[in-house]
Amino acid sequence: MNDLQERTRLCSVCYKMCRDFCSVAGATRHEADSPNHRAFFVEEIMHGKDTLRPEIVDYFYRCSMCKACREACESGLDTSEIMLSARSDLSGELHPQRLKILREKILTGTLYAQDSDMVRALMAPRLAKPRKGKLLYLSPRLRSGDGGMLKSTFSLLERLEVDYQVMKTEPSTGQLAYFLGFTKEARQMAQQFAQQIDAWQPTTLVVFSADDLRMIKKEYPTLGIGLNVGTLQSLPEFLLEVFLAKRPSLSQKVPGPVTYHDSCALGRELRVFEAPRELLRMVPGIELKEMAFNRDQAPCCGYGMGLEITHPEITLLMARRLAGMAEDTGAKALVLGCPTCALVLNEALSSQERSQQAGGGIELLDLPSFLERMMQ
């Protein structure tokens, strides 16, 4: 019996220690969405007790790859690895319908729209030819949005007189293709990403999306991909380094208590827990209220490395659940260290829906936007 089979067997006969930590099961309230049950489906198929049917395969994609099950498991088993293996072995006709529709765009890195007019205007004066220095990797998804977070980030860095560079066009890291099971295509995308980054030879590469950074740090080595980069940093780590060096004057007029969400990739996978909190505590008079589940036990926002693609209805439930947890702290603002989380929550929760929630709603702010506001 190989290692994957043994891990699947152990998971399928467990006493479900991970169930209460699974954000998908917590949002849907379906027992079959628990990590234990998903592993049970795989174990049944491995031993010929069941067959691959669309309703069974669908559960392979109802996993957010958030790794909370690993943190909760006494044995350290990771059912997301079982789901990833199952996805990579599936033939195309068994894919969920939404994945079939979007497959080509995912594999060509064209899922997200081109730069918006606002983003093009923001990028234009900041483009330069490749040279050694600090290179910001923004991600195609972030560049397809309204540019609000990028505007805050650029403004923040320029007020602090930080020298940085951005690319006119950015390749995909391949993370979405990889976690949806397209390993071969993801490796090709990763190779193209590495080639383009190597052409810049950055002394520091700042990766805005924690999910992209997770892909580079955790999965590229397994794919045999290396980057010619001096230092690889998340956005909160980079901003903390800048703020410690510059020591800017920050506002003492905090609009009330704030809470912070640890993204799955930034927190559980990359263990970046303290950098964003250190930044927030640099604001005079700030009251930081932790959510009931934080750091390595924090819930998933709903993005889920492809869950948003295959099951947007579950993403909405998870976003609502996370917003509710944040509101339970009594905080007036929820600060997010990963731009992907900010995008998902803002897209999933309309302003009207947030205003109708208990306590009048909670403001969602990415970390750069919050810090820029505190410098005004």
Q: Are 175 and 215 in contact (CB under 8 A)?
A: yes
By DSSP bridging, strand 204-207 and strand 231-234 are: parallel
- 148-165: b (≥16 Cβ within 10 Å) or e: bbbbbbbbbbeebebebb
Q: What residues form DSSP beta bridges with 336?
A: 261, 366
Angstrom distance (rounded) from CA 103 to CA 16: 33
Q: What is the pLDDT along the chain (376 residues), one digit of tens a residue?
A: 466 566 666 666 665 667 778 899 999 998 888 888 787 777 777 767 667 888 888 988 999 999 988 888 777 778 888 888 888 888 888 899 999 999 999 999 889 877 888 888 999 888 877 778 899 999 988 888 888 899 999 999 999 999 999 999 899 999 999 999 999 999 999 999 999 999 998 999 999 999 999 999 999 999 999 998 999 999 999 999 999 999 999 987 888 999 999 999 999 999 999 999 999 999 999 999 999 999 999 999 999 899 999 999 999 999 999 999 999 999 999 999 999 999 889 888 764 455 454 445 789 999 999 999 998 6
Distance between first and last Cα of the chain: 61
Query: CB count, 10 Å around CB of 109?
Result: 19
pLDDT digits (tens, 9 = 90+) for 355-367: 454 445 789 999 9
Q: Which two structure tokens, joined as six digits, stand for 101? A: 């529709």
Closest residue by Cα to residue 211 from 81, 78, 65? 65
* Non-local CB neighbours of 265 within 8 Å, separated by 6+ positions: 210, 211, 213, 214, 338
Longest dimension (CA), the chain: 65
Q: What residues form DSSP beta bridges with 288?
A: 258
| DSSP code of residue 304 | G
Query: CB count, 10 Å around CB of 7?
Result: 22
Half-sphere exposure of 94 (CA within 13 A, CB side): 19
pLDDT for 352: 42
Residue 282 identity: M
pLDDT for 359: 45
Half-sphere exposure of 55 (CA within 13 A, CB side): 2
Half-sphere exposure of 238 (CA within 13 A, CB side): 29
Reading phi first (left if > 0) and then psi (alpha if -120 to 50, else beta), residue 52 is in beta
Angstrom distance (rounded) from CA 73 to CA 78: 8
Closest residue by Cα to residue 199 from 256, 135, 151? 135
Q: Domains in the chain, please, with CATH?
A: 3-94 (no CATH), 117-242 (3.40.50), 247-374 (3.40.50)
